[in-house]
Chain A
Amino acid sequence: DGGITQSPKYLFRKEGQNVTLSCEQNLNHDAMYWYRQDPGQGLRLIYYSQIVNDFQKGDIAEGYSVSREKKESFPLTVTSAQKNPTAFYLCASSSGLAGVRNEQFFGPGTRLTVL
């Protein structure tokens, strides 16, 4: 089955700890994205990558870091510098230019709670 997987589904973290959220896709997509969703708000872009070994900051990159060493994988690290990390995190991928040729496909999300 082709798709996007995210793990873990739920994650609890103490203040001051870094955590890494996993995102893997087997759709052979070039582009991958990380979004954050807060209650009552739409999706806000954290980072995106259009090709392996390259990524760009989105609208709310502060306190987050990513890597793209493999086409299939785009892990997101939430660092202790992120002041309000409790949120629902969604990973997405697309084969080309989003909205031009292909829509973005989303993973099931990770809900991060900082205790």
Chain B
Amino acid sequence: EDKVVQSPLSLVVHEGDTVTLNCSYEVTNFRSLLWYKQEKKAPTFLFMLTSSGIEKKSGRLSSILDKKELFSILNITATQTGDSAVYLCASPNTGTASKLTFGTGTRLQVTL
């Protein structure tokens, strides 16, 4: 059975801090790993990673994949209160590419 595990489950930081969120996976026929941000309602897509060692960047957010050690990290630098959200990672299911297996998410709270 495919598994995606995220850590920590929750995190509280001060504005301006840098945070690193972790996502490890056990997927038999790995294709990709996706990161989403969920503020209150719909998760919004952040990154899709398919290749090891290639950093994807969008503003203060960046992510990288390690296919040898089976994990990905999401970094947020100079955090702002607007970064407060649940961050989800997911990977396509082994059996059917249409299905995504999600982790439980990391709840990030950024305080002033």
Contacts and interface: CB of A to CB of B under 8 A. Distances in A.
B99 A48 contact: yes
A98 B42 contact: no
B43 A90 contact: yes
Contact of A98 (B9, B44, B100): B100
**Residue in B6, B43, B105 whose Cβ sees the most chain A Cβ within 10 Å:** B43
B98 A94 contact: yes
A57 B102 CA distance: 16
Interface of A: 4, 31, 33, 35, 40-45, 48, 50, 56, 58, 90, 94, 97-100, 103-109
27 contacts: A33-B98, A33-B99, A35-B102, A42-B90, A42-B103, A42-B104, A43-B43, A43-B100, A43-B102, A44-B102, A45-B99, A48-B99, A56-B96, A58-B99, A94-B98, A97-B92, A98-B99, A99-B31, A99-B97, A100-B31, A100-B32, A104-B100, A106-B42, A107-B42, A108-B42, A109-B41, A109-B42
Interface of B: 4, 6, 9, 31-32, 34, 36, 41-45, 48, 88, 90-92, 96-100, 102-105
